[in-house]
Structure 1
Amino acid sequence: MRLFNPDCYAIITANGEQIDLSAVSASTQRRLDVSFNCFLTKDSEPNEGECTYYNLSEATRNKIVKDARIEFYAGYDGEFKLVSVGDITTVKSRKPNTDWSTTIKWGDGVKKYTDVNFRKSYTEGIQLKDILSDLISSLGLSSQGVIEELSQKINGGLSVNGKTKDILNKITKDYGLEWSIQDEIVSLVQKSKPIDDDLILISQSTGLLEFPQVSEKGVDFITQLNNDIRPNKLVDIQSSNSFELRVKDEKIASSANGIRIVETVRFIGNNFGGDFVAMANCRAYNG
């Protein structure tokens, strides 16, 4: 199955004002030309996004500033879903010829990730989930994943002082957990486990564009843009190809097919006739 009429747009909130770039021109029946490249990972480093708008008005260009919030949407046939959201880190406008281009870069939760500090002492008997809840609350973000399941008590007392991100990195590593910020929500999972049990089918019938590639780093695939493909989500790859990968005569994989966990995904596209894809890397999942 192939999807048609890809389109995309951004909504930016700067200094309390919403800049809605989703409008369709009455004369052209099109939105403003824009390209995008968004990279999402399961690591704790913030996800990154970038888009370039063409021929924004001077008034609009002047309103888009660093630290503003951006939401970027993409979809087909007028049905849009969020691709990426974050705090704007840089804005650059230039006019190399007759047209203006404005490139906007952002990070998902990057301002809070970078700036927020945390200091607190805990007495013996405190549960792990309570410490993690305090840390996440200090970021001003909600959470998803396994936090309510973490009822184990820590050994002895605990005093923490420093950047919230650094404390989260240490505690999650010590207890076999992984954390990241996904769409301004802290995602907390057991190491090597998915965020939920939902399966996303990846096949020629759902938009798979090329045969998946198998390497020592896992499986890479390219599909028509599917916003549901996110880090720590489960995908079920069903490709018509079958092969065997060997490294030094040791079989690494017999096929790309099967249930896997998404490690990273890159969304690339534009609304004026180019690519509109998701490029994902994933690894085997054994349940």
Structure 2
Amino acid sequence: MATTTNTDPQLTRKSDRLYTLTVGDYNKGQGIQIEDSLRITFDVSKTSDHKNNNGNSASIEIYNLNPEQERLLDSHYLEVSLYVGYRNEEGRKLLVSGNVTEQSTIKRGTDTITQLIVGDGYVNLTKARLSAMASPGQTVEDVLRIITDNMPGVSRGSIVGTNLSSPVVQGWRLSGTPKDMLDKLTKAYGLEYHVSNNVLTVTDVNGPTTKSTVLCPVISSETGMIETPFRTQKQTKLPKKDKRIRYGLQFKVLLDATLLPSTVVKLESRNINGFFRIDSVRFSGDTRGKDWYAECQCSEMNDTDVTIVSK
């Protein structure tokens, strides 16, 4: 059971933290790669639906780069990947994969700090231009496939939803950026989408990526839950009696990069137990400080949302 105590399990694992940060094309000498050496901090936000925002974003601060490293970062839309994890467990897992949209350098005391603002799949979502036509009779899923084919750096993840097989009766003109078209299509057919780590995921509103709960992560004090989970009041634009409305939940755990939006977790605590779909997650970390957490906002799942297997 998770409770608030004076003992923070994070402190006992601080020396076990691992990270690898790559910016630019390091293998061709046109970028940098830092592994477990310089201090970095990060703040990463991911959400299950990108219609009302510019996609997942991250702020990464790197302390005390040398002048040559700083020079290699002087370019537009550099590709970024950040892997984080723990020693003696499953090692490093991908947390961020995207493009630098803003960059700045500041002095803070004796430190020189380079800040990178990163958009997940930013170039593929907002810089590509579509010019295509889905024929009458093709389905919503066919249109999604056309959009994905025009984002060569983005792969198809879970594409699930009740309206995916709906025919586009009058055809669908694809003109604009992939994000423009994903926004328009998913709004018209009651779907959510997000691009995380350059993988496109599409689900129903409040829907999980899979109905199976067999392999979903278990969130408990034994697996790294911090403090006590609590229910929240979800903000939604759905009508009050809409069956898709679920009550909300928030929990905090030791950082785990596999906690992604739209996936289902099993919560085990003294006051709340059950299956929950992650709506959004915020990761915060400091390789020299206390922070190394994930905070998840979730929706309750019932037996119509997922297949609950009793032991």
TM-score normalised per structure 1? 0.85
Of the three residues 115, 119, 135, the one matched with 1:107 is: 119
Who is 2:149 aligned against?
A: 137
CA RMSD of aligned residues (A): 2.2
> Contact conserved, 1:14 with 1:63, CA < 8 A, in 2?
no
Residue 14 of structure 1 deviates from its aligned partner by 4.4
Q: Using a 3 Å threshold, how does the CA distance of structure 1 residues 84 and 233 change in structure 2: closer, same or farther?
A: same
Q: Using a 3 Å threshold, how does the CA distance of structure 1 residues 33 and 129 change in structure 2: closer, same or farther?
A: same
Moved over 3 A (4+): 147-152
Who is 2:287 aligned against?
A: 271
Aligned length: 266
Matching of residues 77-226 of structure 1 within 5 Å: 77=87, 79-140=91-152, 141-146=154-159, 150-196=164-210, 197=212, 198-217=215-234, 218-226=248-256
> Contact conserved, 1:143 with 1:188, CA < 8 A, in 2?
no
Within the alignment, does 1:72 sit opposite 2:82 as a pair? yes
Of the three residues 271, 276, 292, the one matched with 1:260 is: 276
Which whole-Å CA distance do the structure 1 matches of 2:136 and 2:129 have between them?
Answer: 23
Letter of the structure 2 residue corresponding to residue 36 of structure 1: F
Letter of the structure 1 residue corresponding to residue 32 of structure 2: I
> Contact conserved, 1:7 with 1:74, CA < 8 A, in 2?
yes
Who is 1:54 aligned against?
A: 63
1:105-154 deviation line (CA, Å, top 9, x unaligned): 10101122222222223332223222211111112222111269934422
Who is 2:45 aligned against?
A: 39
Residue 77 of structure 1 deviates from its aligned partner by 1.4
Which whole-Å CA distance do the structure 2 matches of 1:152 and 1:11 have between them?
Answer: 41
Secondary structure, in 3 states, of the residue corresponding to 1:262? strand
Q: Using a 3 Å threshold, how does the CA distance of structure 1 residues 91 and 157 change in structure 2: closer, same or farther?
A: closer
TM-score normalised per structure 2? 0.79
> Contact conserved, 1:146 with 1:190, CA < 8 A, in 2?
no
Within the alignment, does 1:284 sit opposite 2:300 as a pair? yes
Residue 6 of structure 1 deviates from its aligned partner by 1.9
Residue 160 of structure 1 deviates from its aligned partner by 3.4
Of the three residues 6, 11, 15, the one matched with 2:17 is: 6
Which whole-Å CA distance do the structure 1 matches of 2:84 and 2:133 have between them?
Answer: 44
Which whole-Å CA distance do the structure 2 matches of 1:159 and 1:54 have between them?
Answer: 47
1:44-81 deviation line (CA, Å, top 9, x unaligned): 23111111111111110111133111111111116111
Unaligned runs of 5+ in 1: 25-30, 243-255
